[in-house]
């Protein structure tokens, strides 16, 4: 017969219900709870034999005998040594196969159902030993060590570290604020220099009333033309030939070799300054973006500190320049240029195009632009209560709470000061 063999039409299904099969102890747990020796024991009000733990053999498997064949159980329900010790002193009958059984539904009996054994185990469990079937062995939890309080000094140390961590502010936002405050005056100074080094300022300077004329023949138009070449050379990428090949109306070279060399040095300083200013602007923008995302009010605090530093620097430099302009101008050139490379005769082209008054006016304009920008920034970032995000004063809070109570019909104004009561009465009258 194979799997494909057809089933005979008159074949009867086997009987699979073991409830009526009393000769099969393996299926006793499927019988109703009212059957078996356990039910009889419950009806008679008897308890399992011995107030002890169940036989370990009962936990070995479903329907297994209390002990191996020929091994009787001891008086307290535990398996006895092999050797034929009597099962108990009550004279209980033997179970199947000549094996002794305990009295009336004890945990070691085979006649009881699984429900009877569970009931017996539940009754025996609370009074059993920790190793008995009625209680479960509990291993310590992995976090049981957390339930042990550490020493007092360790507790204090942890509390101190936690308090320090809560009170300590992040370092990077502070660093960004400091960098923004340092970059701000430098950026303003570079932008002011760029505004002065332009043909627009040159035109305003040459055409303003009181500007000294050229005693060697340059007209205002000549100054504007030749001066524009010099200013453009400072901001373009041309070489020294840009100025070295210029000629005047008589065909002579407009700038001498020393003048061209000095203008090349000035160009190097100017381009380096502008490049450094562009880098500072980029870093300042990065700092502003970071502070706007990570530190509330960080941009305002950084710009406020930078504006204060700018005012201090510009007022200090302005005082030095006012006390001795010639000394200030000389020391400034000594910082950036070698001695002897920036002094010229009065009839040289650079002196005729850019006399001393031009540099005085340039310094005044640079200082004024930086001063105006720093003062405007100081006003816009002044730490008022609203900008700092602080709440209103307590007096205003009390007044608002009192107004709200008056609106709700509460009569409790006698506990507040007279001024607050008068303000409250005025506000309630308008309501």
Token pair 């074949």 in the structure block, residue: 11
Q: Are 37 and 112 in contact (CB under 8 A)?
A: yes
What does the pLDDT read at residue 176?
92
Between 8 and 229, the more confident residue is 229
What does the pLDDT read at residue 371?
95
Answer whether residue 295 shows pLDDT above 60: yes
Share of the chain above pLDDT 70, in %: 57
The predicted-structure confidence for 410-426, as pLDDT tens digits, reads as follows 444 444 445 445 444 44
Answer whether residue 152 shows pLDDT above 60: yes
Confidence category of residue 280, pLDDT binned at 50, 70, 90: very high
Q: Which of 409, 405, 387, 388 is nearest to 397 (CA)?
A: 405
Q: Are 51 and 76 in contact (CB under 8 A)?
A: no
Confidence category of residue 137, pLDDT binned at 50, 70, 90: low
What does the pLDDT read at residue 18?
55
Q: Say what the alpha-carbon torsion angle 103, 107, 109, 115 is, to the nearest 10 degrees.
A: 110
- Mean pLDDT for 256-265 is 94
What does the pLDDT read at residue 97?
42
Between 299 and 389, the more confident residue is 299
| C-alpha 14: how far from chain center | 71
What does the pLDDT read at residue 163?
83
Using CA atoms, how far residue 146 sits from 126, 143, 158, 227, 410, in Å, is 29, 5, 14, 82, 52
- Mean pLDDT for 207-214 is 91
Answer whether residue 429 shows pLDDT above 70: no
Reported pTM: 0.55
Of 12-21, 47-56, 69-78, where does the model show the most confidence? 12-21
Between 27 and 386, the more confident residue is 386
Answer whether residue 264 shows pLDDT above 70: yes
What does the pLDDT read at residue 117?
73
Average pLDDT of the chain is 73
Between 18 and 64, the more confident residue is 18
What does the pLDDT read at residue 242?
94
What does the pLDDT read at residue 42?
46
Domain boundaries along the sequence of the chain: 19-46+105-134, 172-388, 394-430
Confidence category of residue 67, pLDDT binned at 50, 70, 90: very low
- Residues with Cβ < 8 Å from 308, sequence gap 6 or more? 378
């Amino acid at each position: 017969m194979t799997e494909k063999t057809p089933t005979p039409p008159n074949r009867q299904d086997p009987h699979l219900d073991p409830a009526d099969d009393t000769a099969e102890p393996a299926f006793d747990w499927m019988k109703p709870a009212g059957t078996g020796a356990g039910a009889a024991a419950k009806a008679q009000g008897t308890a399992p034999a011995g107030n002890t733990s169940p036989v370990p053999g009962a936990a070995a498997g479903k329907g297994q005998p209390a002990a191996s064949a020929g091994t009787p159980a001891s008086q307290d329900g535990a398996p006895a040594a092999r050797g034929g010790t009597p099962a108990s002193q009550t004279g209980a009958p033997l179970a199947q196969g000549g094996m002794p059984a305990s009295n009336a539904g004890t945990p070691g009996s085979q006649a009881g159902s699984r429900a009877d054994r569970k009931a017996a185990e539940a009754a025996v469990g609370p009074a059993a030993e920790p190793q008995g079937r009625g209680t479960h062995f509990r291993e310590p939890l992995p976090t049981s060590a957390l339930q042990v309080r550490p020493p007092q000094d360790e507790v204090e140390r942890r509390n101190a570290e936690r308090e320090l961590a809560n009170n300590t502010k992040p370092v990077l936002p502070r660093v960004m604020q400091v960098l923004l405050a340092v970059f701000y005056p430098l950026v303003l100074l570079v932008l002011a220099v760029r505004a002065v080094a332009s043909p627009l300022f040159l035109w305003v300077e040459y055409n303003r009333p009181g500007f000294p004329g050229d005693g060697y023949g340059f007209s205002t138009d000549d100054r504007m033309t030749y001066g524009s070449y010099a200013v453009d050379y400072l901001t373009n990428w041309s070489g020294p030939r840009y100025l070295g090949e210029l000629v005047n109306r008589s065909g002579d070279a407009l700038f001498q070799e020393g003048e061209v060399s000095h203008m090349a040095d000035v160009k190097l300083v100017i381009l380096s300054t502008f490049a450094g200013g562009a880098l500072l602007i980029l870093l300042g923008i990065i700092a502003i973006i970071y502070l706007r995302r990570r530190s509330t009010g960080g941009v305002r605090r950084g710009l406020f500190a930078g504006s204060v530093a700018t005012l201090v620097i510009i007022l200090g430099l302005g005082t030095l320049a006012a006390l001795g302009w010639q000394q200030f101008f000389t020391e400034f050139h000594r910082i950036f240029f070698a001695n002897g490379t920036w002094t010229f005769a009065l009839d040289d082209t650079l002196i005729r195009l850019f006399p001393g008054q031009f540099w005085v006016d340039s310094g005044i304009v640079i200082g004024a632009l930086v001063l105006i920008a720093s003062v405007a920034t100081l006003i816009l970032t002044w730490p008022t209560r609203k900008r700092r995000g602080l709440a209103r004063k307590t007096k205003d809070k009390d007044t608002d709470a009192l107004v709200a109570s008056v609106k709700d019909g509460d009569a409790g104004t006698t506990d507040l000061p007279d001024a607050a009561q008068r303000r409250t009465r005025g506000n309630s009258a308008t309501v």
